[in-house]
């Protein structure tokens, strides 16, 4: 029935417009979020006395038009993309991991230790060990929150958030005393062995860490569309009542979703460490953990859509960093835009929902 109607519409004069509208509609909140966020950002700029056109032009010109910007692209994309996949796992299941920052720190810490503690093993052995260690670190850092949520229903937003601060302080402590590398004057950890480093793809500006991210997002897309477990995650995320009637083991699914999420955020830390940093300094506070939240929502919890969106967010971050030196506008402006995008996205999403319901009732 509906198929025939669509066909009729297509034949009609306004068919093309209808097709266009119907294909844009699901993405409407995303478009409102991004465009609205950038417009609101330009109002902020204008009120502050900056020329919005010049600032935005500089951001994208620096990110896409300079060899430095292009070179940094895959390095900035990889943590965003991997954390994005990690957050997607729990957001799809209706659970909230806001502790990506802490998990990333502990993941990087475990990767760092594994990268020098096992000795100079050959790369094909050492790299998997390092990445596995970072996954373990991420899992350890979300485990308390996951158990508390699954077992006692304690709100995981608060607990995962508080574990961020514990992670930040633990890193400071460990790097300043027990893990301090004595051969360096400044407090840093011992660098990983060269064979533990993730290389660039030969002859390209693409980092192998990004390949891990791309593979993960494709895998996650397949997982949620084709597998039973993925389907079960989606059910507990969209309708707990239905999940209960279907006899799903809800606490276990909640637990798995959070643990997988923590594991991936830990992996993001490991990839970051083995890919670019090589060692840790005590004041490292990665903001990717929070910046990935708007990213995942604007991508409408679609694992494949995470790829272009992490590219877009990475562009803003790189351009914002370089723009800082040219325009004199602090890089925090980019965080303002990210936050505004997500607020506007959430607002327009709910308005759309209300409209839809009203139409159905008529």
- Which stretches of the chain bind other proteins, using CB under 8 A? 48, 96, 98, 144, 148, 151-155, 157-159, 161-166, 169-170, 172-173, 176-177, 290-291, 293-294, 297, 329-330, 332-340, 342-343, 345-347, 349-351, 353-354, 357-358, 361
Residue 68 in contact with residue 326, Cβ under 8 Å?
Answer: no
Residue number, 168 or 235, with CB nearest to other proteins: 168
Smallest separation (angstroms) from other proteins to the CB of 41:
10
Judging by beta carbons within 10 Å of its beta carbon (0-12, 13-18, 19+), is residue 348 exposed, middle or buried?
Answer: middle
Residue number, 74 or 164, with CB nearest to other proteins: 164
Residue 141 in contact with residue 163, Cβ under 8 Å?
Answer: yes
Report angle CA 355, 309, 227 to the nearest 5 degrees.
Answer: 80
The helix (run of H) or strand (run of E) holding residue 11 is helix 2-11
In angstroms, what is the C-alpha Rg of the chain? Answer: 22
Residue number, 19 or 285, with CB nearest to other proteins: 285
Smallest separation (angstroms) from other proteins to the CB of 13:
35
Smallest separation (angstroms) from other proteins to the CB of 340:
6
SS3 content of the chain, % helix, strand, coil (to 5): 80, 0, 20
Task: State the distance between the two ends of the chain, measured CA to CA, in whole angstroms.
Answer: 20
Smallest separation (angstroms) from other proteins to the CB of 190:
19
Rounded CA-CA distance 275/138 in Å is 17
Residue number, 118 or 181, with CB nearest to other proteins: 181
Residue number, 63 or 342, with CB nearest to other proteins: 342
Dihedral Cα 184, 185, 187, 189, nearest 10 deg? 0
Rounded CA-CA distance 213/174 in Å is 29
Smallest separation (angstroms) from other proteins to the CB of 166:
5
Residue number, 151 or 244, with CB nearest to other proteins: 151
Smallest separation (angstroms) from other proteins to the CB of 323:
13
Smallest separation (angstroms) from other proteins to the CB of 313:
13
Please report where in the chains the tokens 């606490």 appear, as a residue.
Answer: 251
Q: 3-state class of 353 per DSSP? A: helix
Residue number, 274 or 334, with CB nearest to other proteins: 334
Tally Cβ neighbours within 10 Å of residue 26: 10
Residue number, 22 or 177, with CB nearest to other proteins: 177
DSSP E strand stretches across 91-246: none
Smallest separation (angstroms) from other proteins to the CB of 138:
18
């Amino acid at each position: 029935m509906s198929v025939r109607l669509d066909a009729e519409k297509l034949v009609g004069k306004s068919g093309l417009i209808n097709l266009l509208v119907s294909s844009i509609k699901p993405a409407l909140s995303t478009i409102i979020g991004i465009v609205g966020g950038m417009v609101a950002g330009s109002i902020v700029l204008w009120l502050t006395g900056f020329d919005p056109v010049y600032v935005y032009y500089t951001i994208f010109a620096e990110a896409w038009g300079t060899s430095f910007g292009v070179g940094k692209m895959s390095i900035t994309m990889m943590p965003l993309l991997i954390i994005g996949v990690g957050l997607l796992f729990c957001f799809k299941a209706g659970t909230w991991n806001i502790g990506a920052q802490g998990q990333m720190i502990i993941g990087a810490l475990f990767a760092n230790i594994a990268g020098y503690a096992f000795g100079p093993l050959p790369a094909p052995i050492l790299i998997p060990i390092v990445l596995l260690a970072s996954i373990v670190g991420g899992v350890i850092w979300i485990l308390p929150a996951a158990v508390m949520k699954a077992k006692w229903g304690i709100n995981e937003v608060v607990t995962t958030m508080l574990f961020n601060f514990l992670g930040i302080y633990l890193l400071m402590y460990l790097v300043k005393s027990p893990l301090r590398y004595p051969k360096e004057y400044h407090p840093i950890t011992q660098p990983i062995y060269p064979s533990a480093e993730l290389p660039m793809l030969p002859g390209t500006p693409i980092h192998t860490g990004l390949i891990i991210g791309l593979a993960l997002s494709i895998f996650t897309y397949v997982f949620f569309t084709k597998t039973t477990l993925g389907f079960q995650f989606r059910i507990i995320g969209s309708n707990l009542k239905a999940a209960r009637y279907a006899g799903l083991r809800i606490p276990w699914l909640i637990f798995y979703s959070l643990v997988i999420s923590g594991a991936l955020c830990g992996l993001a830390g490991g990839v970051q460490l083995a890919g670019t940093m090589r060692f840790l300094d005590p004041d490292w506070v990665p903001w990717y953990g929070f910046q990935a939240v708007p990213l995942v929502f604007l991508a409408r919890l679609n694992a494949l859509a995470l790829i272009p969106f992490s590219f877009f967010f990475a562009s803003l971050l790189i351009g914002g960093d370089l723009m800082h030196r040219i325009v004199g506008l602090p890089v925090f402006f980019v965080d303002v835009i990210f936050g505004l995008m997500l607020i506007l996205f959430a607002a327009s999403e709910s308005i759309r929902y209300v409209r839809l319901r009203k139409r159905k009732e008529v």
